[in-house]
Structure 1
Amino acid sequence: MHRGLKPLLAVAAVAFAAGCGAPSDPQVTFYSHGNSVEVAPAQYCDPTGENCSKPPADPAGELRMTGRDPLQISVPSEVASAPWQVAFVYRDVAGQEVESRSAVFAPGTRHAYTLHLPPDAARIEHVEVQQFSALLTAGPDGGVQFGIGGSWVLDVHQ
């Protein structure tokens, strides 16, 4: 091997190893009735709501669920370290689409949530884990609203 190539190969190996260990965007795990899927963020920004990662080509994960089975959601520390909630869409027994959401979870208080459908629900269709950012905007009623800095999307199939 040529003497000049050894230092170049060593630098390339270090750069490759450093790239492999680079942190990636946090994944959220959705689980129901023996099936699970890890979902990359559809949106993920720093706490100020800026410096956002490029979203994946197909931002929604997919999971097959049966009827009214509960959906377990696990979030990593990167998500749980800020306020977060679960927004979801379900069909009621009359077939109407209904939007709902969980309570907002305080930073560092929980890493998991089990979504149980309301009594009038027939099936769940769409779920989104929403992590709030520190970005505030004026609300429609004169108050303030926190921006969504991260979101992980799941489409449910029966």
Structure 2
Amino acid sequence: MRRLASVLAVSVLVLTGCSLPRHYPEVTFHANGKTIRVEPAVYCDLGGDNCAERAQPAKLKVPAGKVVQISVDGQLADGLWEAVFLYRDAAGKEQTTGTGLLGKGENFTYTLSLPDKADQLLGIEVHEAAAAVLETGQPLLRGYWAVEVTS
């Protein structure tokens, strides 16, 4: 999971500050007959400032070859969000990939299915874009929800 966080940190860049609103959007993950609701690990104001850490990564058991259903609340679905995941392929190599940007009121759910049935999921992060953009043109991260996967 640490590797996932460090890989993603390159695209995230700025998460600092301290105060947050009272309501935090949650993301629901469902796999292998179990459902968990996850609060953001980090959440910022709409401009990407005033961030605070909220929660440690949740844990979810996902055997190789199983899918994960991801469902975001309306606040995330109305904006821009993406799911990024780390997995170990059949050759034992760690891979990171993602959904690309979803949302704009059209995507409330995503089914995460790895390329090969032998691949083992290791971690998932859901990212919400802030209203601001980085100099590179990429959206600034407003918050993220993290799940550490056990097999």
Q: TM-score, normalised by structure 1?
A: 0.77
1:120 to partner: Cα distance: 7.6
Percent identity reads 32
Distance in 2 separating the partners of 1:51 and 1:78: 18
Counterpart contact for 2:64–2:118, Cα < 8 Å: no
Distance in 2 separating the partners of 1:80 and 1:47: 15
What is the aligned partner in structure 1 of residue 143 from structure 2?
150
1:59 to partner: Cα distance: 2.0
In structure 1, runs of 5+ residues without a counterpart are 1-21
After superposition, the CA RMSD in angstroms is 1.7
1:105 to partner: Cα distance: 0.9
Distance in 2 separating the partners of 1:68 and 1:114: 13
1:44 to partner: Cα distance: 1.4
In structure 2, runs of 5+ residues without a counterpart are 1-20
Q: Which letter maps to 2:77? A: A
User: Equivalent residue of 1:80, what SS?
Assistant: helix
Q: Which letter maps to 1:154? A: V
Counterpart contact for 1:92–1:120, Cα < 8 Å: no
What is the aligned partner in structure 2 of residue 44 from structure 1?
43
Larger radius of gyration: 1
1:117 aligns with 2:114: yes
User: Equivalent residue of 1:79, what SS?
Assistant: helix
1:106 to partner: Cα distance: 3.4
What is the aligned partner in structure 2 of residue 4 from structure 1?
none
User: Equivalent residue of 2:95, what SS?
Assistant: strand
Distance in 2 separating the partners of 1:119 and 1:156: 17
1:20-31 to structure 2, matched below 5 A, reads 23-31=22-30
1:51 to partner: Cα distance: 3.2
What is the aligned partner in structure 1 of residue 61 from structure 2?
64
1:80 aligns with 2:67: no
Q: Which letter maps to 2:70? A: I
Paired residues, what number? 131
Q: TM-score, normalised by structure 2?
A: 0.80
